[in-house]
């Protein structure tokens, strides 16, 4: 089994960060011992040097070798995206491990809260989500990998978040691209309300804020745990299927099962023509 923990919206700052809650989240995540840790942005509140140094210290406490971290709109304020690169590396990280490939992108723009991926990224994304296009990239992406796309902004409106705003300006085009590329899971944050949509054959999973006081209405701090089982893990699925469970986890460690689904493994041939078409946008 492969486990992904998905955190978002830490908002490390004197005004919003809850250190006691964060300590519980660190302990809980380390007990889960995920194979991959995905953090979908808003590590900081104002992207100051102090906040980034604190964010680095806190994120280093998560004992996971494979971290996929993308910036949020708050991290790109005040030229903070440069500090992000200094401390966490590329703003568009990728990771392939044990049948799972995660492709992350920066959906933020400096000093603008609206999300934006941009046509110039579509070819790059398609290449990294297709094992045949990927041959020259020295990637470990293999055919039948579970494909995960991670970004900060929500691609689909989230209920109980008030007036819709700041959704990526090209969210429709991005959703269509991800669908054509055979993406199984989209992980995002930004709205501070946990939610899961299923669109065609793709789960779009929002995380709440993990450890800030910026919660909405009746929600609470939380994060997501995703478990992926293949046929070698369970007799419940055949070699052409995989089982996905998504849990919402509270800082106390309490887990609630949100999704339990058997999904067909998509062949690259099914996506090949579509991915090739996406390639022309580059
Ligand atoms: Fe946020």
Asked whether residue 55 is domain-assigned, the answer is yes
Distance 114 CA to ligand 1 centre (A): 12
Asked whether residue 221 is domain-assigned, the answer is yes
CA terminus-to-terminus distance, the chain: 35
Q: Structural domain of residue 163, as residue ranges?
A: 2-246
- Cα–Cα distance for residue pair 210/121, rounded to 1 Å: 28
Asked whether residue 259 is domain-assigned, the answer is no
| Mean pLDDT confidence for 227-241 | 90
Distance 40 CA to ligand 1 centre (A): 9
Asked whether residue 211 is domain-assigned, the answer is yes
Asked whether residue 272 is domain-assigned, the answer is no
pLDDT score of 137 more than 90: no
- Cα–Cα distance for residue pair 237/224, rounded to 1 Å: 23
- Comparing CA positions, the residue from 252, 225, 189 lying closest to residue 5 is 225
| pLDDT reported for residue 181 | 93
Asked whether residue 279 is domain-assigned, the answer is no
Asked whether residue 16 is domain-assigned, the answer is yes
Domain count, the chain: 1
pLDDT score of 138 more than 80: no
pLDDT score of 271 more than 80: no
pLDDT tens, residue by residue, 150-188: 999 999 999 999 999 999 999 999 999 999 999 999 999
Structure-token match 């998905």, residue found:
6
Distance 209 CA to ligand 1 centre (A): 7
- Comparing CA positions, the residue from 7, 10, 69, 35 lying closest to residue 249 is 7
Helix (H, G, I), strand (E, B) or coil at 226: strand
Asked whether residue 196 is domain-assigned, the answer is yes
Distance 254 CA to ligand 1 centre (A): 23
- CATH code, domain carrying 119: 3.60.21.10
Helix (H, G, I), strand (E, B) or coil at 252: coil
- Supply the DSSP symbol for 265: P
Distance 85 CA to ligand 1 centre (A): 19
Distance 41 CA to ligand 1 centre (A): 7
Distance 190 CA to ligand 1 centre (A): 5
Alpha helix (H) ranges present in the chain? 19-32, 49-60, 80-88, 122-128, 171-180, 268-279
Distance 206 CA to ligand 1 centre (A): 12
Distance 80 CA to ligand 1 centre (A): 15
User: Average model confidence (pLDDT) for the chain?
Assistant: 93
């Amino acid at each position: 089994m492969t486990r992904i923990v998905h955190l978002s919206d830490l908002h490390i700052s004197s005004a919003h960060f809850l250190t006691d809650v964060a300590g519980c989240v660190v302990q809980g995540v380390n007990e889960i011992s995920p194979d991959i840790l995905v953090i979908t942005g808003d590590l900081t509140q104002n992207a100051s040097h102090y906040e980034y140094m604190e964010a680095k210290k806190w994120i280093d406490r998560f004992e996971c070798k494979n971290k996929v971290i993308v910036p949020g709109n708050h991290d790109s304020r005040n030229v903070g995206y440069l500090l992000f690169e200094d401390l966490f590396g590329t703003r568009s990280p990728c990771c392939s491990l044990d049948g799972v490939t995660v492709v992350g992108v920066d959906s933020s723009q400096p000093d603008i809260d609206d999300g934006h991926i941009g046509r110039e990224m579509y070819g790059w994304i398609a290449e990294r989500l297709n094992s045949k296009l990927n041959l020259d990239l020295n990637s470990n992406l293999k055919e039948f990998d579970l494909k995960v796309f991670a970004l900060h902004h929500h691609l689909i409106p989230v209920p109980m978040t008030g007036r819709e705003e700041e959704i990526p300006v090209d969210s429709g085009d991005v959703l269509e691209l991800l669908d054509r590329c055979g993406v199984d899971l989209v992980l995002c944050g930004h709205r501070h309300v946990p939610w899961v949509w299923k669109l065609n054959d793709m789960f779009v999973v929002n995380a709440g804020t993990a450890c800030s006081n910026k919660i909405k209405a009746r929600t609470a701090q939380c994060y997501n745990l995703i478990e992926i089982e293949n046929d070698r893990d369970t007799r419940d699925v055949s070699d052409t299927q995989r089982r996905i469970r998504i849990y919402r986890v509270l800082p106390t460690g309490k887990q609630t099962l949100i999704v339990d689904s058997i999904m067909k493994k998509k062949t690259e041939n099914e996506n090949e023509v579509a991915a090739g078409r996406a390639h022309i946008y580059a």
